[in-house]
Amino acid sequence: MAECVTNEKKVVTEKTYILQDVGNTASVNGNTASAVEAGTHKKAPLDESTQAVGNQQETLKDETQSSLSSTALNYVNSIVGSGIIGMPYAFRLAGVGLGTFLLIFIAVITDYSLILMVKGGQLAGTTSYQGMMEKAFGRTGYFVISLIQFIYPFIAMVSYNVIVGDTITQVVSRLFLMEATNSSIFVSREFISFITSVLVTLPFSLYRDIGKLAKVSLVSMIFVVFILITVYVRIPHFQEVLPASEDAWQFANFSGAIQAISVMTFAFMCHHNTFLLYCSIDNTSMVKWNKVTHASLFISFITMTLMAYGGYATFTSTVQGDLLNNYCWNDDLMNVSRLLFSITILLTYPIECFVCREVLENIFWGKIEDQDEEQSRKRHVVMTLVLVLATYALSLVTDCLGIVLEINGLVAAVPLAFIIPALCYMKLEEGPLLSQKKGPALLLAIFGIAVTTWGTIVIITKGSGECQDVGDMPYCRQLKTSSHIVQ
C-alpha cells in the first residue's frame, strides 16, 4: 500500500478532497457530503496510472498527524450530518422494533465495510477509492465509480434544495408574521429556494477553491447537537394534540424495511473520505484504524438513535422525511434549529457542486493543465450554472425529503458503501470466492445488490407516497387554542 505521508508536505492526488480541518480531515455531511474520495500518498507509478477525479496534484501546508481522538471526532463529523434528520422517518417506515434492529445492523456492516475498504486499498497499493476500483476492474471500474460519485452529490444537492426550501420558508413566514399556508409568493418554497440558489449557493459554488469552507464541519456537529436537544425539549408539547393512529409505535413494518435501509445507509455514508481519515492517524496501522472506526461508528449510532427515538416519540406515524417540517411555523425554538440546519446545508451545497463539476471535468476534458485557461474558466461557469439550475428544478418536483433520501441511498450510497468495497476486496484478495476471508465480503455484496434491486422496484411501484404540505400540519391549528404554547 502506498504509504501515507507523515512528517512532510502532503500531496493530494485528487483535487476533490472533501475538507481539511486544522490538520485533520473531515466531511461536512455524511449523509450530505460529497461522494468523491480523496487519497493522500507519495507518488508511485501505480497511482500515476490510476489518477482519480481531479488529476492535478495540489500541495498542502505542513500538517501534523492526528491522534486517535482527533481522528474519531473528524470521523463522527463525516458521518453525522443532514441524513440524521431523516432517522425518525426511517422508524416510521420500518416500525420501532425493526427500525432499531436495522439501525444496529447498518451500523455494524458499515463498520465492516470501512475496514474492508482500507484492506482493499492495501491490496491495490493505493490510498484512493478510484485507484482501488481501477486496480480491481480497470478503466471500466474507474468510469463506473466516477458515475456513482457524480450521482451521489448531485442528488444530495437536490435534497439540500428541498430542505432549504421547506425550512427557510417557515423561518421567513415567522419573521414576517405570515402563516406558512399564506398564498403569497414570498413565502413559497419555489421562491425561497430560487432566491437562496441565486444569492447563496450559486456564488459560493462558483469558487474554484472551496478549502475555506472546511471549518463548517465542526460547526455542523455543534448545530446537530443543538437540534437534538430541541427535539427532546419539544416532545411534551405535542402529546395532547397529535391524532392517535393504529400504526403508531408499531413494532415492525416489513413493507417499508428496504426504504428504511436506504435512508439509514445514506445517513451513515462516509466512505468518500475513508482513506483521508486513515492517513490522518499518527503512525497509522490497521489496529488503530479498527479501533477508531469502532468508536466513531458507535458514537454516530448513538446520536442517530437518539434522533430517531426523539423525533418518532413526538410525531409517531405523522413524522416527515424532514423532521423539522413537523414543527409549527410559529415555533420560535424550532425556527432557530431550522435556521442553523439551513446554514449548514447552504454551506455544504458548494462542496457537492465542486465534486460534480470535477467529475465531469475529468471524464470529458481530462487534465485541466492541458486545457486553455480561458476555455476552462468559461466551462467552469457554465457547468456550475447548469448544475445549480438542474438541481433547483428537480427539487421542485417533490417537497418530500424522504423519497429523495431513499433514491440517493439506493442508487449511490448502497453501492458506494457496501457493493463496491466488497467487490474490490474479493477481486484483489487471493484465494477462492467462497474462502473464509472472502465469505463476509460476498455476503455484503449480495446484501447491497439485493437492497438496491428490490428498493428500486419498490420506489417505481409505490411512487413517492404522501407528504404533508409545509406548515399545514393540522395539529398546529389545535396548538393555537390549547394551553401548550410553542413559541
For residue 321, the Cα-to-chain-centroid distance in whole angstroms is: 15
Q: From CA 337, how far away is CA 227, in angstroms rounded?
A: 5
Average pLDDT over all residues of the chain: 79
Q: Is the pLDDT of residue 341 over 60?
A: yes
pLDDT in tens, 234-248: 999 888 778 767 778
Q: Is residue 163 in some structural domain?
A: yes
Average pLDDT, integer, range 382-398: 93
Q: pTM value?
A: 0.79
Least confident of 62-76, 126-140, 455-469: 62-76
pLDDT in tens, 5-60: 444 434 333 333 333 333 333 333 444 333 333 333 333 444 444 443 334 333 33
Paired sense of beta strands 20-21 and 24-25, if any: antiparallel
Classify 240 as helix, strand or coil.
coil
Q: Is residue 394 in some structural domain?
A: yes
Q: Is residue 280 in some structural domain?
A: yes
Query: Where are any strands of DSSP class E within 110-189?
Result: none
The better pLDDT of the pair 218, 263 is held by: 263
Q: Is residue 459 in some structural domain?
A: yes
Burial readout 56-89 (b: 16 or more C-beta within 10 A, e: otherwise)? eeeeeeebebbebebbbbbbbbbbbbbbbbbbbb
Q: Is residue 123 in some structural domain?
A: yes
Judge whether 14 and 41 are in contact, CB under 8 Å: no
* CATH code of 444's domain: 1.20.1740.10
pLDDT in tens, 408-422: 999 999 999 999 999
Q: From CA 108, how far away is CA 30, in angstroms rounded?
A: 16
Residue with cell 456550475: 384
Burial readout 11-24 (b: 16 or more C-beta within 10 A, e: otherwise)? ebbbbbbbbbbeeb
Q: Is residue 5 in some structural domain?
A: no
Q: Could you tell me the residue range of the domain that residue 394 belongs to?
A: 11-481
Using alpha carbons, list the distances in angstroms from residue 401 to 154, 160, 282, 337, 404: 14, 9, 39, 17, 5
- Indicate the number of domains in the chain: 1
Q: Is residue 3 in some structural domain?
A: no
Q: Is residue 486 in some structural domain?
A: no
Judge whether 161 and 200 are in contact, CB under 8 Å: no
